[in-house]
Amino acid sequence: MAKKKHYGRKSAVNRNWANIERENPLWESYYRSLQLFPDDQWELFKKACQEPLPLTFRVTGSTSPKLRKEILQLFQQDHLEKLTGVEFEGVKVDPPQLLPWYPSQSAWQIDVPKRVMRKNEMFSATQRFLVLETGAGNISRQEAVSMVPPLLLDVQPCHKVLDMCAAPGSKTAQLIEALHADPATPPTGFVIANDSDTRRSHMLVHQLKRLRSPNYLILNHDAQFFPRIAVEQDVSSKHKCLKFDRVLCDVPCSGDGTLRKNINVWSDWKHQNGLGLHALQWKILNRGIELLEDGGRIVYSTCSLNPIEDEAVVAQALRKWGDSVSLVDCSAELPQLKRCRGISQWPVIGKNQQIKTRGDEGSLESWFPPTAEEARMFHLERCMRILPHQQNTGGFFVAVFEKTASVETAPEVEEKLAAVTIAEPSTTAPAEKKKKALPLDAIDEPFNFVSGDNEDMQKCWSFFGINEQFNRDCCLVRSKLGDPIRVVYTVNPMLKDIIQMNGEKLKKIYAGVKMFVYQRDDIECPWRIHSEAVPCIRNYMNHNRVIEGDKELLRVLIEEPFPTYDFLLKHDVSQKIIDKINTLSTGCAFVHVSRDDEDKESLLIPIWKGVKSINIMIAKQDAHELLYRVFGIETKAKENPNARVSPEDAEKDSTDACDKVEPALS
């Protein structure tokens, strides 16, 4: 949802959620008064808010059409029937259904809460399928309403996109997928994913790496003060400021649209939650509009139904920007998505449940509804409210703006503008912040680019037969010296320019795809190609290091650690394949496997060719996913079928000083 760190939220540790009553008189009184829908729908609305949220997922939009079709067929053939006509705790569970409004029929809803899917044996096979395909980057488990804002941004492969409050990253992933929507055309655009929380910024890496895209950069800035990003110089020798074609402002919010999954919101809800967040939300939206290109589109969204956080923020943007921005009428977009229109009237209620009026001490002018004249100009009815009882979802608010003209801002005040637009009143005592530990694999090293003429890089280009059409000068390393020592990444050319031109001004967390990993220096090429880089490099590589294999070879490589060539012969791998393997020098190579069905995508898998044996070089979860998708073999998370080789024996034939290569399923 918009932000999982909700205002006023207490730790769930030692809280017995089963004992939290899903009632709150203040919440009920307030939302009844708003008249968001006819009175006879109130009980349906409240009942929906009190019920657990169903599980939803979508097939990743950047996968090839063949792979997308294969994943959908797997779900329908192996799981749809098993989940049809079942009962759980004496209640009949509705069969899974397509989300009718999501494009390409690639999103599904399962009317079982996530916690039940995880722990109940009845649903274990489907849960395992979801885990495997999520880890492989083929699907994303995401709440249905969370899928809406990226769709309404209408991202194209050439767009420059900013996600201002990106963590945990499900919407960001959608934006990146939209760049790669046409597999035949590499995107020229990029996504900058920003989050103000350092730890959550690092968590974005794990969400986005699954997509294997070189077209994103993760930053760690306070969104309301998002910095000017310099791009190319103009004729006056001054740097131009980067403007974005698309901006997503999915801002921190009180989260009362998440009542179905965040049960503690019931007990924590109070009027001042929305009042306290309004100023921050407006500042972020205002900064987003400043950074938007003329003719660009910006989406403002929250997982709150509170108009103080929703229409009041939108109205303030329209009030401040005048004719420079306009609300887009999205009523014809996603036509099968049920929604309500935005509202133009709401009460402002303070801490002691008193009705506030304009001019009251400690109140903000922008909390209050627009005047009658403003309401006619603003068209707040074009905002979109998605309510839980309409389509069995969470609650959500979305507003879409288009920018029609620039308003010039002096560079020396641009950084401060968002901070002074509204003075934020204090509604609570400031909480004492605890320093959060970063993930163990977080990298805290500078970004330095390596020339394509670098000696190590020349070895890689030659050894793997990578042609000059590949952007050889877009390789970067994370080290102070800037030499390729351990890992080399590749990024989009425009991101390279941004990283180089802005130096330490940007608080960079991660960028691009891990491409080359150092292996050992006693062979022809000491580097291997990382599996993450295969999708973006396969079309630029010749077949010198590619073995045309078959499914039997692939299965042996997945199930057997470091199989010898004699072992391969005994397991029906053809002599022709083994002869091809023996023609290769020691080092990284690839196995290409065509599928029996022409409608299924062929596989290109990295391996390590040793003196006496070979080894597949993919992560454990990817190996499990291939066993299931290609061979129909179901495995368990803790299964370790190839623990027949000791680490000492494995090290004799294949070592990796920085990213240890292990048997695929060990």
Per the annotation, binding residues are 165-171, 195, 222, 250
Query: What is the phi-psi region of residue 120: left when phi exceeds 0, alpha when psi lies from -120 to 50, beta otherwise?
Result: beta
Annotated binding site for S-adenosyl-L-methionine: 165-171, 195, 222, 250
Whole-number Å distance between alpha carbons of 467 and 460: 11
Check if 303 is active-site.
yes
C-alpha–C-alpha distance, residues 592 and 460, integer Å: 20
Helix (H, G, I), strand (E, B) or coil at 34: helix
Task: Tell me which residue of 259, 248, 262 sits closest to 195, measured CA to CA.
Answer: 248
Q: Which amino acid, residue 22?
A: R
Specify the 3-state DSSP secondary structure of 488.
strand
Annotated catalytic residue, options 49, 249, 253, 303? 303
Q: How many CB atoms lie within 10 A of CB 626?
A: 23
Q: Please state whether beta strands 139-141 and 384-386 pair in parallel, antiparallel, or not at all (unpaired).
A: unpaired
494's tokens: 């425009």
* Cα first-last separation, the chain: 35
Report the C-alpha gap between 26 and 54 in whole angstroms: 26
H runs (alpha helix) in 291-371 = 311-321
How many other CB atoms sit within 10 Å of the CB of residue 376? 10
Distances (CA, A) of 5 to 251, 270, 538: 11, 16, 40
Amino acid at 146: S
- CA 399 – CA 380 distance, rounded (Å): 9
From 577, 661, 593, select the one nearest 629 (Cα to Cα): 593
CA angle in degrees (0–180, nearest 5) for 345-268-41? 45
DSSP 351-381: TTSPBP-TT-TT--GGGSPPPHHHHHHH-GG
Over 245-261, what HEC string results?
A: EEEEEECCCCCHHHCCC
- Amino acid, single-letter form, for residue 304: S
Residues 6+ apart with CB under 8 A from 157: 178, 179, 180, 181, 182, 185, 187, 188, 189
Peptide bond into 168 cis (omega under 30): yes
In whole angstroms, what is the distance from residue 95 CA to residue 117 CA? 14
* Residues classed as catalytic: 303
